[in-house]
Structure 1
Amino acid sequence: MGNKEVIRCLVVDDEHPAIRLLSGYIKKTPGLELALQTTHPLEALAFIKKGLADLVFADVQMPDLTGIELIDAIKESQIKVILTTAYEEYALKSYEYDVIDYLLKPITFDRFSIAAAKAKQRILPLLPVFGNDYIMLKTEYRLQRVDFSTIFYIEALGDYVIFYTTLGKVMTLQRMKNMEELLPKDFLRIHKSYIVNINRIDFFEKGKIVINKKQLPVGETYKSAVKLKFGL
């Protein structure tokens, strides 16, 4: 188990040459990973809403959904945005939003690298740090160590997750999808709102898991995985 220091990038532009250029830049930049490239902003929006990207490179002018409209549609999420365009007059408008940077086409690799560095400064501090048997969580006032063995379950609450442990609750700004991907195999997603430590389960019956006297529902999407895990 290591630190998650890779930023998952999404590139959306209605021009294929622009997509190829940015995708190539991402692939040769340490710390960045290309998660999706698409000419369809609605596909990008659906991908973002699934929590599968950390950073979006979005063209300002696109059919169906402009880059500005895309920002409006995802403003409640944690995802960060870098806008791209061939029109300089959109730069001022972009800074009315909390974008990381604004790239004017044609985009050089040097200019891209500056934007990538800004993105790392904004995004990486939000990502959890893992040890072999613990996770370091950023809370409002400090960085707190939580041992895996002390965790009962994890609950999603908007853009936050709450760790319920033997020592109390710890809340951190984080996506549930990140937790699902990064936690060790002793943790199991049972619901869109819950991940459980299987070593802390008291029993499982009638579509519910009980941990520390707390009944947690098993979502329809996750029932087959839960039954497979327990050989049911």
Structure 2
Amino acid sequence: MIRCICVDDEAYASSLLKAYIDKVPFLEFVGSTTSPIEALGWVSENRADLVFLDIQMPELTGLQFLKLAGNKCKVILTTAYPEYALEGYEHDVVDYLLKPIAFDRFLKAVQKAQAILQPIVGIAVSSASTPPTVQNSHAEYMFVKGESKNKFLRINYADILYIEGLKNYVSLYLPQQRVVTYQTLRDLEEQLPQPPFYRVHKSYIISIDKVSMVDGHTLYIQDKQIPIGETFREGFFKLIREKDAT
């Protein structure tokens, strides 16, 4: 895991970054502060690997922070002022995020950080080495890659409620657990038995056996409401009708 801190004098900016960090399985949110001096203390105590750093701060500027921190951590600059980008790169920052920060741009930046900080271990899996998902011949379960090298988690198909995709990551929702793994939703869809699994949206695959109710273009699994995408509706309702007829 890459331990992250946010240094920004705007509470909204820090809360947004925390929400983004919480979505990425190889990142761990350690804390946020409005004080660059406090953040320097955290870095010197080896409490952070990656710092999201605003440039314009009251006690120290972000560029002054970079000079004092040296090589003790990696830094992604966050600012509303693009004119600081060149000077930031001269200090060997990982990336430069311009506010307001979109999640896809954030993800690109942290993937750069992962490549630097976790060149060997991590959740990224080379397609030439270990495949991201391994199935057994009886199609009762699969193994998905965990958050560290050579760690795999067994997932029973019968336990999967639904699966949510986000870029190159998927979240598998089980009755008492959420498992996040590095894999695309499309690749996972090809490996899941159909039925009971069916893709109902560009971001969701569901287990038809776990659906408690369908209301219009929304289906319900436990307390989760999942939209049925327009391109998937015809096939989904055909499946529902076939289930009803059996």
Q: Give structure 1 stretches of 5+ with no counterpart.
A: 1-5, 129-232
Q: Does 2:38 align with 1:43?
A: yes
Q: SS of the counterpart of 2:82?
A: coil
What letter matches 2:13 in structure 1?
Answer: A
Runs of 4+ in 1 over 3 A off after TM superposition: none
> Number of residues paired by the alignment?
125
Q: Give structure 2 stretches of 5+ with no counterpart.
A: 123-246
Quote the Cα distance in structure 1 between the aligned partners of 2:82 and 2:89. 12
Quote the Cα distance in structure 2 between the aligned partners of 1:67 and 1:24. 22
Paired residue for 1:91, among 80, 85, 92? 85
Q: SS of the counterpart of 1:106?
A: coil
Q: SS of the counterpart of 1:125?
A: coil
> What is the CA distance between 1:41 and its match in structure 2?
1.0
Paired residue for 2:53, among 42, 55, 58? 58
Cα deviations across residues 204-226 of structure 1 (Å, max 9, x unaligned)?
xxxxxxxxxxxxxxxxxxxxxxx
> What is the CA distance between 1:125 and its match in structure 2?
2.4
Quote the Cα distance in structure 2 between the aligned partners of 1:94 and 1:76. 14
> What is the CA distance between 1:97 and its match in structure 2?
1.0
Q: SS of the counterpart of 1:63?
A: coil
Q: SS of the counterpart of 2:76?
A: strand
Quote the Cα distance in structure 1 between the aligned partners of 2:71 and 2:95. 19
What letter matches 1:91 in structure 2?
Answer: A
What letter matches 1:38 in structure 2?
Answer: T
Q: SS of the counterpart of 1:10?
A: strand
> What is the CA distance between 1:66 and its match in structure 2?
1.0
Residue 12 of structure 1 is matched in structure 2 by: 7
Identity of aligned residues (%): 53
C-alpha RMSD of matched pairs (Å)? 2.2
> What is the CA distance between 1:7 and its match in structure 2?
0.1
What letter matches 1:71 in structure 2?
Answer: L
Alignment of 1:1-232 (within 5 A): 6-77=1-72, 79-125=73-119
* TM-score (structure 1 length as normaliser): 0.51
Quote the Cα distance in structure 2 between the aligned partners of 1:81 and 1:63. 18
> What is the CA distance between 1:126 and its match in structure 2?
7.1
Quote the Cα distance in structure 1 between the aligned partners of 2:120 and 2:67. 22
Shift of the 29–97 alpha-carbon distance from structure 1 to 2, 3 Å rule, reads same
Shift of the 51–18 alpha-carbon distance from structure 1 to 2, 3 Å rule, reads same
